[in-house]
A and B are shown apart, each in its own frame.
Chain A
C-alpha cells in the first residue's frame, strides 16, 4: 500500500514532469522536433503492441494444459494436420514482421527526410564547438554584419535557421531537443542542421557527444524571438562594447585589456582581441556564462574570474592572479557589457 502510494505520489509526477519543459523531445516547439516526436510516438505504440502480443502468446504457450492426444512414447511422431497449422502460424508471423518492419522503415525515412526540407530563405548561423563552449557566428550577405557571440543562439520565430556546424578540437554534438534532433560537430568536416522555432521561448541545448571532462557543462540556450525583436537585438550586437559608465568600470577595462584576459578574449572597441576564448563584447547580454554553468550576474562573473578551475575543473581558462580591487573592477566592467 505504502509502495503504491509512493509510486503514485512521487514517481509518476516526476516521470510526467520529464516530458515537458525547455529541454524535451516530447514537447516539440518546431516542425522538425514535431515530426521526430511523432516518430517516437509511432514506434512506441507499434513496438508496444507487438511486445504485448508476443507476451500473450508466450504466456498462453506456457500455461496451456497439455492435450491428452500427445503420446509421450513417440515424441517424434508427425501429425500432418498439426504440422500444417503450425506452418500457417509461422508464415503469418513472418509476414506480419515484414509488413511492420517495412512500415516503420518507411515512416522513419519520411520523417527524417522532412527534417532537411526548409521553406524560405534560412538565417545562416555558424556554430563551432570548443572544449567546452560554443562559438556562435551570425552570418549575413554583407561581411561587415557578421556577429560573433558565444553559448547562446538567438533566432527569429518562424524563419528557418541553418546551423553550419564545425568543431575546433574533438567531436561535439548539438542537441536542442525541443526544436531539432542531434547533429555532430566534427573537426575537419562541416555539418548542417536546419530547424525552425514556431513559438517564442527559451530552449536549452546540450552537447550530446562525450567530449572531455567538462562535457556535462557544455550547454547553451536557444532563444526564439519575434522577428522585429531579433533584428533589433542583432543591430545591438553589431555595436562595439559599451563604454565604461564610471571609474570602476573604466579600471575594469584596463584590467581586461592589460592582463592575460586579452590574450584569449575579444572585447570589440578595446585592445582585447584574442580569439581563443569566447567573445566578451556583449557578455552580460547573454543568459549564462561558461556554457550554461552559471547565470550571468556580477557575482557569478567575479566567482568565475577569481577561480575558473574551482567552478568548472579542467576547463581551459586559467586562474589569472588579480588583486581584490582588480577583481571588483573587472567584474563590474564585465557586468556592464550588455
Chain B
C-alpha cells in the first residue's frame, strides 16, 4: 500500500517536471514552409500549411510564442491603429468579429499581405515566424474564453481582463451574424 502510494507520488512529481518548450530557433525550411498558406479565393479563410498542423499549432498554444506576439504588437505599433476599445484609424480588436476573418489563415494573410482600407502589408518588415506569433496573440485579444496558454502580463494599466483570466468578452454582445 505504502509502496503504491509512493509510486503514485513519484509519477505525479515527474509529471510536474513537464515544462513548456521554447522553440527559439525555427529551422529555415520549416519557417519557409510556414509561409505556404492556402487562402480561399477571396482571401478569407483557407487551409494552414501542413507543417503548421504537424507542429501542433504552436502559435496558439505556446505561452512563449504568445508573449513574443504581444511584444511585437507593441513594437510594430499595432496599437497605433487598433487601440483597445476605441481604435484610432483601424477597428478595435476586442469583439472577435473581424471583417477579414478571425481564423489563423485569414489573420496570417491580413498581416502578411495587408487588407483594403488601410491595413499595411508586413511581408518585408516581419519574418514568417513573427507573423505567426502575432496571429496567435491577436486571437487572444478577441477571445471569449480563457485558454491554458497566455502571454505575459501588461506592464502598463490593464484596459481589459488579463489574457489568462476568465472570459474577457463575456459581457460583450454576441457578434452579429453575416
Interface residues of A (CB under 8 A from B): 169, 187, 258-260, 262-263, 276, 307, 309-310, 313-314, 316, 318-321
Contact = CB atoms under 8 A, between A and B. Distances in A.
A187 B130 contact: no
A319 B155 contact: no
B125 A260 contact: yes
Contacts of A318: 126-127, 129-130
Interface of B: 22, 24-26, 28, 31-32, 71, 75-76, 124-127, 129-130, 155
A309 B127 contact: no
6 contacts: A263-B125, A314-B22, A314-B24, A318-B126, A319-B28, A321-B28
A321 B25 contact: no
A309 B76 contact: no
Ranked 8 nearest A-B pairs via Cβ: A309-B25, A263-B125, A318-B127, A313-B24, A314-B24, A309-B24, A276-B75, A260-B125
Given A263-B125, A313-B24, 9 more contacts: A259-B124, A260-B125, A260-B127, A263-B76, A310-B25, A318-B130, A319-B28, A319-B129, A320-B127
A319 B22 contact: no
A82 B31 CA distance: 84
Given A187-B155, A263-B76, A319 B26 contact: yes
Contacts, number: 39
A259 B32 CA distance: 16
Residue from B24, B26, B76 having most chain A Cβ neighbours under 10 A? B24
Interface residue SS majority, chain A? loop
A320 B126 CA distance: 8
Nearest to A263: B125
A316 B22 CA distance: 14
A310 B76 CA distance: 24
A276 to B, nearest CB: 5
Contacts of B31: 319, 321
